[in-house]
Chains A and B, each alone.
Chain A
């Protein structure tokens, strides 16, 4: 088979790895993992979790399908392909929390069936709309009586500590997580948390005590003594239960002035401009019927929801504002919308990074949809961030064969505000040039003036 490629991010666990054959997602199970694999499937855990949509589905295939590529795989599984891949450094606080709770739910369910998990990495969780789903079906192994929770430290670094950074210090986890990739260490976080946070038993033990004990000054004898003990099952269950209860209660620290309702678009239904935009996006979506709809500068997801109501299957939104993402995620969960808002600084999107710079893929490689919209966005990039207008348009048009972009003229109050304190260096920022740049890479299907200030929506098609 010629079009087989190995997933670059799937190399840590030698018990199997992911391959792509065309559009299909296959997973090898190496002989090393077979005993655990058979035990875990025999326990019924995998079937239960798949039925509850907590774990990605799997079908056993003939291992010969990967002949020459699988390296002696005992089994080959096929998983359904997920519509969009995102990383924890792009998730909102509420999404990271939902992922943490899913991990603990799976651990608790697994332990009841004498199964435990080999790791606790957040990268094993993906989102379908706002719903987290576990994707590594080889993370399970037979539980040995008395064994420690091998993934505890990883769970702290990849879930708890980033959540605490926002919850206690009010700092969003995204930038730090993107820098470290493996999360935030207890040692680093313990230097940052205020002294009073020690009053929380969970923070005291999981952050401060762990940081202290991880310290090299712990004697080898103490380590040997701990290793020689077992973790009784009741202790394991207690730790999982305690963490779940604690994490379920964590909330982002709020600026006293911010309330979620500020993000609710309370005037959008009355506002004529917003009405026009909604109608335009609705017509566009009905015509294109996109599976994956990308909403760049989504705010709390108003137009993504319009798209979902008009035939889009999944809307993935991107925004810079952490509050908007938080509100958007809660709204998607609350209204059962297939919408996932993610963090994006358009001037500095997620890069290709990790081992060999291929382990975690950059935004540009993943942000491919059937439709894209960029409403009330381009002036922020071209004027507030000084990005070249032509490049911004090309960047957006590259994401999907069809889309809607909004041009906001210089006389608009928003643009005037951006230019208030600075010199206007943007000679090419006008409607004619905008149309010229857009026409150079796509056909303009339709355009409409949607506001008194002359905001214009362009429906493009580069197909």
Chain B
């Protein structure tokens, strides 16, 4: 269920986005790279959401608030998964 919610959340984030303003890019990023990045980003967001639930679960058992758990591991948020 957590996974489902995570995916819904990431889908929502992706869905409510609009075209990014083109910058002065002189490089063709390539269709493969762009589609791949959009897939990887979806996974990254889903992982982020999973982690959020994980902290909440940990907080529930440790008695700490989920917010303080999260700020404790703010750095780890990006670094834990690759």
Contact = CB atoms under 8 A, between A and B. Distances in A.
Interface of A: 12-15, 32-33, 36, 118-119, 141-142, 144-154, 156, 186, 205-206, 209-215, 218, 222-223, 226-232, 234-239, 241-242, 245-246
A235 B31 contact: no
Contacts of A245: 82
Contact of A223 (B14, B31, B40): B31
A211 B31 CA distance: 10
B44 A239 contact: yes
Interface in B19-66: 19-21, 23-27, 29-42, 44-45, 47-48
A218 B34 CA distance: 12
A211 B32 CA distance: 7
B40 A205 contact: yes
Contacts of B27: 118-119, 150-151, 154
B37 A231 contact: yes
Contacts of B40: 205, 235, 238-239
B32 A236 contact: no
B44 A235 contact: yes
A213 B29 contact: no
Interface of B: 13-14, 17-21, 23-27, 29-42, 44-45, 47-48, 78-79, 81-82
Contact of B29 (A36, A146, A150): A150
| Binding site secondary structure of chain A | helix
Contacts of B82: 238, 241-242, 245-246
A28 to B, nearest CB: 15
Contacts of B45: 232, 234-235
A229 B14 contact: yes
Would you list the 4 A-B pairs with minimal beta carbon distance, nearest first? A214-B32, A235-B41, A242-B82, A153-B33
A218 B36 CA distance: 12
Nearest to B42: A235
Nearest to A142: B23
B34 A226 contact: yes
Task: Determine which residue in B17, B33, B38, B39 has the highest number of CB atoms from chain A within 10 A of its CB, and name it.
Answer: B33
B17 A230 contact: yes
B69 to A, nearest CB: 18
| Binding site secondary structure of chain B | helix
A213 B25 CA distance: 21
B31 A218 contact: yes
A112 to B, nearest CB: 11
A210 B36 contact: yes
Contacts of A222: 35
Contacts of A218: 31-32, 35
Contacts of B38: 148, 226, 229, 231
A220 to B, nearest CB: 9
A237 B76 CA distance: 12
B41 to A, nearest CB: 3
B81 A238 contact: yes
26 contacts: A13-B26, A15-B24, A36-B24, A118-B23, A119-B27, A141-B23, A141-B24, A148-B38, A150-B23, A150-B25, A152-B30, A152-B33, A152-B37, A209-B36, A223-B31, A226-B31, A229-B14, A229-B38, A230-B17, A230-B18, A230-B20, A231-B38, A231-B41, A234-B44, A241-B78, A241-B79
A32 B21 CA distance: 16
A186 B25 contact: no
B29 to A, nearest CB: 5
Nearest to A214: B32
Given A218-B31, A230-B20, A239 B37 contact: yes
A229 B24 contact: no
A210 B41 contact: no
A212 B32 CA distance: 7
B26 A118 contact: yes
Contacts of B47: 238
A33 B29 CA distance: 20
A405 B17 CA distance: 66
